[in-house]
Amino acid sequence: MSDQGLFLTLEGIDGAGKSSHLDALEALFKAQGRTVVRTREPGGTPLAETLRGLVLEKPMDPLTESLLVFAARRDHIAQVIGPALARGDVVLCDRFTDATFAYQGAGRGFDNAVLSTLEQWVQGQAGGTKLLQPRITLWFDLAPEIAAQRLAGARVPDKFEAQPVEFFRRVAQGYADRASADAQRFVRIDASQTRDQVWLQIESALRARGVLAGGRAG
């Protein structure tokens, strides 16, 4: 089901600046004649949004947290992502499984082997060994100290945003590890630059990957 559409995710520590570019990304693909499904994790369906509220607000152990984000993801894939990709749409998703490896794995110190098993259960596709994965992941790489400065006063912190900078150092390392393990899928964006410069990086990376030129290249 992932072969026809384009599954694009945005990742990075809180405050890295991902959300600031979602409108422009949606407009860019729409200008190419694509139908865009814009969504987020945890979330994207009524059930998954309910689970999001729990994950972002309630204290819980890392296994519970991991089970809830993967339960939300399962519903999201079944209801939204899978059907959209099968239609040939662009799925623009604010976070996906890399966030689980970065936050629950590296940040909380939870067992990556258990996360990989859950990933296989949730993202396994009928009749094959291939997992549903994003085609391209835009990784907004920013020093945790700068992200914290950007977030200070910008919004009321949720459970994760209230974590100390050491937590985000581990999360950032988790993203760096994921990126080096799958260099083909990840595009590193230097998120320390100005908003305009960040946008230019995004646009040129998408052009270089051939997903902008000539309509349905993705």
Ligand X SMILES: Cc1cn([C@H]2C[C@H](O)[C@@H](COP(=O)(O)OP(=O)(O)O)O2)c(=O)[nH]c1=O
Q: Which of 158, 192, 203, 205 binds ligand X (CB under 6 A)?
A: 158
Q: Which of 34, 76, 95, 135 binds ligand X (CB under 6 A)?
A: 95
User: Is residue 92 near ligand X by the rule CB under 6 A?
Assistant: no
Which is nearer to ligand ADP, 158 or 177 (by Cβ)? Answer: 158
3-class secondary structure per residue, the chain: CCCCCEEEEEEECCCCCCHHHHHHHHHHHHHCCCCEEEEECCCCCHHHHHHHHHHHHCCCCHHHHHHHHHHHHHHHHHHHHHHHHHHCCEEEEECCHHHHHHHHHHHCCCCHHHHHHHHHHHHECCCCCCECCCCEEEEEECCHHHHHHHHCCCCCCCCCCCCCHHHHHHHHHHHHHHHHHCCCCEEEEECCCCHHHHHHHHHHHHHHCCCCCCCCCC
User: Is residue 41 near ligand X by the rule CB under 6 A?
Assistant: yes
Which is nearer to ligand ADP, 12 or 174 (by Cβ)? Answer: 12
User: Is residue 69 near ligand X by the rule CB under 6 A?
Assistant: yes
User: Is residue 19 near ligand X by the rule CB under 6 A?
Assistant: yes
User: Is residue 144 near ligand ADP by the rule CB under 6 A?
Assistant: no
User: Is residue 17 near ligand ADP by the rule CB under 6 A?
Assistant: yes
User: Is residue 49 near ligand X by the rule CB under 6 A?
Assistant: no
Which span sits near ligand ADP by CB under 6 A: 8-16, 46-54, 85-93, 176-184? 8-16
Q: Which of 150, 160, 169, 192 binds ligand X (CB under 6 A)?
A: 160
